[in-house]
Amino acid sequence: MTVAKTTQYWNSRMNGTDPTGLTGNFQDVWTAASGSGSASGGNWVITSGTYTITPTTNTAYTFVACLSYTTAPNNDEVLIKLDNGTHKVEVKGTGNATSLKLVGDSTVTVSNLDLLLTESKPVPLVLRLTLDSTGVAKMYVHEIIQDDNAEDIFSSVTGASGSSKIVQWGNTSGNIKWSNVYYSKFGAFTPEELMTSAFAQNAVPRMGISIVDLLKNTEKIYLKSQVPDSNIMYGYDISSEMINRYTVPNIHVIVPSVESPSFDSLAGSKTTQNYDVVVYVTTRGTNYENAYRQGLNILGEVFDELYTKTGVSGTTDSLISYNAEFDTKMDDDETVCVHTLNLTYMRRIDMRQR
């Protein structure tokens, strides 16, 4: 996983207004390649119009659109196109409002969609399309990566042969309401790697998930050899039912809260933010002492890794406080040991990338 850094963000954000006249900080505007659209009800409504940006040095892109149909475009109408010069991928219409095609060197049809809004289905579709530098393209519906059984549910194809770099969206048939269009030229990011909200991005991916990645890549003995990478995860669900699905030992990282004790500049363009991070280390054993010591060794390596790799980086992160809570057996039947590490990080955030 490659979480987007602070220098990697949404460099174009259209929120229902003219794509060729975007304003604000860190905004790239779109060029009208054909036709036009109009603003109506918080959407950019197109019956015949396409918009493009031509990337320069970058070869991996992320595109997110929130859209709905008034009338469906024609079959094989190109709605979104990413081309990095060597590979291209397209999202095409199917002539109806219940499916879309992901087209590269093969075609995947994604069904059971609700693109035509009704009173019973009033939520527009959120679609994410990515293309990496090797030509792998992925499409996510409603920002969902996995189902409840941890099975991947996004679609993927290898891009067809590209011609020249371009990012394109729009339609020349049908009537489509483009509520939002976000584009990043900085990489092919999953919904966990670059979220649409800058606040959410700083809180979970850049803080919590980055810690998960750091712990997976360590060379320390217990974290390297005793805890499988699949058992080091962000703790979206730490209920007892979910915890029981994983083997032990395992590590769960969560960010339960964030606060900004002070603004570092007038009008709040830059702020100091404190992030609380909690790390749970779970072990199990018939001999509780062995489980306790194994958990303590793992927790110690977690702290050492985070302190040396992030906590003393004054330009990006500063670890300003921590405390550890060591579990103790209180019941004869207790076999699970959970040690807890609580950390507080301080970061300075640029609030203009929104």
Stronger pLDDT, 301 or 259, i.e. the higher one: 301
For the domain made up of 198-350, give the CATH fold: STM4215-like (3.30.2000)
Write down the domain spans for the chain: 12-184, 198-350
Among 38-47, 72-81, 277-286, 306-315, whose mean pLDDT is lowest? 306-315
pLDDT digits (tens, 9 = 90+) for 92-126: 999 999 999 999 999 999 999 999 987 777 789 99
Q: Mean pLDDT over all residues of the chain?
A: 91
For range 146-152, the mean pLDDT: 75
What's the token pair of residue 197?
């909200």
For the domain made up of 12-184, give the CATH fold: Jelly Rolls (2.60.120)
SS3 212: helix
For residue 341, what pLDDT band results from cuts at 50, 70 and 90? very high
3-state secondary structure 276-336: EEEEEEEEECCCHHHHHHHHHHHHHHHHHHHHHHHHCCCCCCEEEEEEEECCCCCCCCCCE
For residue 266, what pLDDT band results from cuts at 50, 70 and 90? low
pLDDT digits (tens, 9 = 90+) for 327-338: 998 877 778 899
Report which of 78, 170, 91 is spatially closest to residue 130, judged by C-alpha positions. Answer: 91
pLDDT digits (tens, 9 = 90+) for 10-57: 999 999 999 999 998 889 999 999 999 999 999 999 999 999 999 998
Stronger pLDDT, 250 or 346, i.e. the higher one: 250
Q: 74: number of CA atoms within 13 Å, CB side?
A: 8
pTM of the model as a whole: 0.88
Taken in order 314, 317, 321, 325, the sign of the CA dihedral is: negative
Structure confidence at residue 286 (pLDDT) = 78
pLDDT digits (tens, 9 = 90+) for 268-287: 667 788 999 999 999 998 78
Whole-Å CA distances, 123 to 46, 113, 261: 19, 11, 36
